[in-house]
Amino acid sequence: MKTFKFIKMHGLGNDFVIIDNSENTFEIKRKKILKKIGSRNFGIGCDQILIVESNDYKNAKVTIFNNDGSESGACGNGVRCVASYLMNKKNINEIKIKTSSGSLDCWIENKNCFVNMGKPKFEWTQIPLAQKTESQIIKIDQFELYCLSMGNPHGVIFFEDENALNKVDIECVGKKIQNNDIFPESINVEFATILKDKTIRMKVWERGVGRTLACGSGACATLVAARQQNFSLRKNDIILDGGKLTINWLDNEEVIMSGEVNLVFKGNFYFD
């Protein structure tokens, strides 16, 4: 029987297992082990698993996996959680987290954790799509998806009002869109509407995970898609099932995300 230490954290109910500099990372990265860790019935249970490969408290390298064992390039809430954990551990206020999609600057202000998610990408080869399209918006059945990348692919669907949003079968529609041939690497699907107070209500279907209470990169993609279609200002609150994120699309095109993160528990995980 083998074991490793872990930390369980969440950002708005979007929950993560963080493994800090484990000596068993090679074995942990086996898909069978990752799926067991992510299982809510047979393991710890989480949306994503983040493995801290190296850390000097100014820079940390992190590998991100979905709970089905597939690797993910970006995870905004997960990066905020691991950044918060590492900053609190060393009593520092800023750190750079390196992922396979790039390096992300993170910092603490007024108890909230911020992350610079970088610039959105709009080219069809960067999202990626299987073929070039004439518009940023792709129609699948009756749904119009505004497609872009925030380090991972996103398709954002806007609905007329909250009643229309609440009628959507997120699982059925999310699965169907995710598996469409136009998305060679699958896609995260955001379902959104503009509320009466001009904030944005969003629900999400994540590739490799399914329905989650929140998605940081998805919230960033939704703000960008809303602004590009003149639905929103460049800074707005995104209301998710698990709580609120504030997204600010700066004039230099970088997207800043902020919100709460929480430590749930620490423990040891045993596996064969």
Phi-psi region of 18 (alpha: psi -120 to 50; beta: other; left: phi over 0): beta
Distances (CA, A) of 28 to 19, 35, 270: 9, 10, 11
Q: Which of 46, 75, 106, 147 is catalytic?
A: 75
81 is annotated as an active-site residue = no
CB atoms within 10 A of CB 2: 11
Distances (CA, A) of 231 to 14, 195, 199: 26, 10, 10
Residue by residue, DSSP assigns 108-134 as EETTEEEEE----B-STTTTT-SS--S
Phi-psi region of 227 (alpha: psi -120 to 50; beta: other; left: phi over 0): alpha
Between CA 66 and CA 195 the distance in angstroms is 31
172 is annotated as an active-site residue = no
Closest CA to 245 of 75, 74, 53, 77: 77
Q: Which of 46, 81, 215, 220 is catalytic?
A: 215
Query: What backbone torsions phi and psi does residue 96 show, to the nearest 5 degrees?
Result: -110, 125
Query: What backbone torsions phi and psi does residue 103 show, to the nearest 5 degrees?
Result: -95, 135
Q: In Å, how far from its chain's centre is CA 87?
A: 20
Between CA 181 and CA 217 the distance in angstroms is 22
Q: Are 206 and 188 in contact (CB under 8 A)?
A: yes
Q: Which residues are catalytic?
A: 75, 215
